[in-house]
Structure 1
Amino acid sequence: MKTVFVMIKCELGRTYDVAAHLADNVPEVRSVYSTSGNYDLLAQFQLSPNQEIGRFITKTVQVAPGVKDTYTIIGLNAFTEDASSAGPDDI
């Protein structure tokens, strides 16, 4: 699996709409956070090995209603386990 973090700049007043759209319509989304600074949201996506990152970003994230700009960070190595994928006995 490929982990991709995308910082998203939204059109004014659309941050909550963009977050809801990603959470409700993009199965690859793992988390979406509001942030302060130059970008409004930070979204984490988990892509399958056969999914092309650039195509996913341009065809799914950048065209979401209310998205103005994106900045993509590719995760290389996870040093901690994703708690959402751990079972109750793993925590």
Structure 2
Amino acid sequence: MQTFFISVSCERGQTYTVGREILKAVPGVREVSAISGKWDLLVKLVIEEGFDVGQLVNEKLAAVPGIRRTKTQVAYFVYNPDDVFF
């Protein structure tokens, strides 16, 4: 599995509507969080290795009304607190 975090900027007043629509329309979305700052939403996307994330973002996510722009980041490793020993 490959994890991506996608920052989403929404049209004014559309953040909650866009967040709910992303959950319905985009396969692999695990979480959508409203956040503060430059971006409005943070989307956690988990897909199979080798699946084209660009196609998913451009065909499914970009089709959600109310999205102004996105920024996709790859998560290479997940740190688990149970794996840390001091």
Same-fold call, TM > 0.5? yes
What residue in structure 1 maps to residue 8 of structure 2? 8
Q: Per-residue deviation at 1:11?
A: 0.7
Task: Give the paired residue count.
Answer: 81
Q: 2:80 aligns to what SS in structure 1?
A: coil
1:67 aligns with 2:71: no
1:41 aligns with 2:41: yes
Once the two structures are superposed, residues 23-61 of structure 1 have per-residue CA deviations (whole angstroms, 9 ceiling, x without a partner) of 223231110100111110000001112310111111111
Query: What are the ranges of 5 or more consecutive residues in structure 1 without an aligned counterpart?
Result: 82-91
Runs of 4+ aligned structure 1 residues displaced above 3 Å come to: none
**Could you say what secondary structure the match of 2:6 adopts?**
strand
TM-score, L = length of structure 2 = 0.86
- 5+ residue gaps, structure 2, are 82-86
Structure 1 match to 2:17: 17
| Structure-2 separation of matches of 1:26 and 1:60 | 6
TM-score, normalised with respect to structure 1: 0.81
Percent identity between the two aligned chains: 30
Q: Give the superposed CA RMSD.
A: 1.4
Range with greater deviation from structure 2 (48-57 or 9-18): 48-57
1:61-87: CA deviations, max 9, x gaps?
Answer: 122111110011101011128xxxxxx
CA distance in 2, matches of 1:39, 1:79: 24
